[in-house]
Structure formats: structure tokens, C-alpha cells
Amino acid sequence: MKNTLLLTLLFLASYFSSFVFAQNDTLILQKNSYFENEIILSNIDSYGKIYVCDKKGVIQRLDSLGNVELVFSPSSSLVPTNFITQNPNQIFVFYQELQEWVVLNRFLTEIEHYKISEKIESNNYGEIGFVRLLAPSPNNTLWFFDESDFSLKNYDVMNKQILSQTPLGLILKDEDYPISYLQFYQGQIFLGVREQGILIFDNFGSYKTVLEYPNWNAISFEKDFIFITDKNKVIKKGLYDKSIEELILPNQIQQNTEQPINYFFEFNSKCYQIIKNKMYIYTISKK
């Protein structure tokens, strides 16, 4: 009996030691600024540059102080469905309504422009329907959510074939939940589903797990962490361990922020929060 109890205690100690509960960091407001128009999309590149897209479809690149460095004004006023900025030399911008995407260089100049019907073809490996979300991966493939058959697909652009196809009907609790986020990061695919959470797949398209944050508002990454804005909270969660931390906003921001946080990024001990047409820049105070 004593041996059994000892083994149980050892198991529990080992299990809970795998959870790392980091002390909550406090954010100190350094600066705030305003945009002329409401910001609809935002992202960050690998050098810490912030990109914003307003309701007129204009994309701007900001420096670490929130100053505008470059501007891309598209020929259409349509707002992109998503844009991926990890690689600042190849900014990927997808327009769902047009079923096309463009690639911008580091000067925010358009260097490539493709229609899905011209670049992604149905063949013996599978059919291509209406692409709801589209994101690139480093190995010259595209990941997309095909609304026509409700599946996540990986497409080899060079060889023009579907490499993987994952039906989502059995994974989602309800097919009516809107799928509104897709990004490839560090060999994994993150699919954001409103009212359910963030689904994670490996680079073969196999389902791994779900981060159960049904009220998530925005998602971002920094090194080995994922940042999830959940109502007026910011959750910092380890991708490869079980560390989890809640970032604490300054009291005056908590009081003034009635709507959910739109976007939140961390880079080199600075944090950036974007709500509608406002941007807050913080430094991090370690406890």
C-alpha cells in the first residue's frame, strides 16, 4: 500500500512539474498613436516590423515606434482576407473575393500576382473549390481551407498536385463555426475556428490538438510562443511545453478598452496592441 501511494505521488509530481506557470508580466505603456482609418488586419515580420491594413485595403509598414515607413496602395479597395508577413522579402496577401493573391517585396512593391484558377488546378489528386483562406509555407507549397468540401489542403505549386487533404467535418464541433485564421508556423498549421478554438495540424496535414480558447480574437507568434487575445486578456502560451502566462494590461487601458483586443504582438521586450484605429506600444516589466 505504501509503495502504491509513493508511486502515485511521484507520478503526480512528475506530471505537474511539466506545467510551467510563468509569473505574469506587467505591460508599461510607452506610447500610443492613431490611424486615419480603422485597422482590419495586422501582422508582424521576423524583424519586428508591424504591418497594418485599413478598411480601404491600404497596407502600411511601421517601425518599432509606430511610425509609417512604407505604404502599399492596391488598385482595388478590397480588404485582404489575410496576409502573411513572416518573410519581409515576400509579403503574401490573399483576396478571398477575387480568389487571387499578390506578393510584395521589402519595399511593399507588388512583384507577383496570381489567380487561384491559374495557379491551383484540380486534377486526379483532388478537386479545388472555393478557397476561403490561403497561406504559404517555406517549401513552395500552399495551405488552404477549401469551403466546397470543407477540408484543409496542401498544394504543391511546382508539381501542381494536392499533397494532403484533411476533412474537417469530424474535427469541428459544428460546421457553422466560422474558420477565420490560417497560418503555417514552425512546421505546424494553425487554423482558428470561432467558438471552438485553434486547431493545430502537423506539416502532413494530420490533426494534432486544439487550443480551447473559443473566444479568441487574434493570434500571433514570437519565437516558441503563441499569443492569443481572448476578450480583454492576452494569453502567452508555449508551443513546445505547457508554460502559460497572462499578460497584464495597464489599468487605464483595461478601463478604456471596452471592445476585444484586435491584435497583439511581442518582439524584443516590446509589445504592440492594435484596437480599431489605435496603437499602443508597451515595454515589459518582469515580476
Q: Residue type for 266, please?
A: E
Q: Where are the alpha helices (DSSP H) in 151-269?
A: 251-256
pLDDT of residue 130: 93
- Please report, in tens digits, the pLDDT of each residue of the chain (287 residues total): 545 544 444 444 443 333 343 557 788 999 999 999 999 999 999 999 999 999 999 999 999 999 999 999 998 888 999 999 999 999 999 999 999 999 999 999 999 999 998 888 766 556 788 999 999 998 889 999 999 999 999 999 888 889 999 999 889 877 777 899 999 999 999 999 998 999 999 999 999 999 999 999 999 999 999 999 987 789 999 999 989 999 887 765 665 656 677 899 999 989 999 999 999 999 988 76
Sketch the domain layout of the chain as residue ranges: 33-229
pLDDT of residue 177: 76
Q: Round to whole Å and give the CA distance between 270 and 44.
A: 12
Q: In what order do the strands lie in the sheet with 39-44?
A: 39-44, 50-54, 59-62, 68-72
CATH fourth-level superfamily of 33-229: TolB, C-terminal domain (2.120.10.30)
pLDDT of residue 248: 80
Cell numbers at 174, concatenated: 459544428
Q: For the chain, how big is the Rg over CA atoms in Å?
A: 20
Q: Round to whole Å and give the CA distance between 123 and 150.
A: 18
pLDDT of residue 280: 94
Q: How many contiguous H segments (helices) and E segments (strands) does the chain have?
A: 3, 24
pLDDT of residue 122: 66
Cell numbers at 191, concatenated: 487554423
Half-sphere exposure of 108 (CA within 13 A, CB side): 19
pLDDT of residue 62: 97
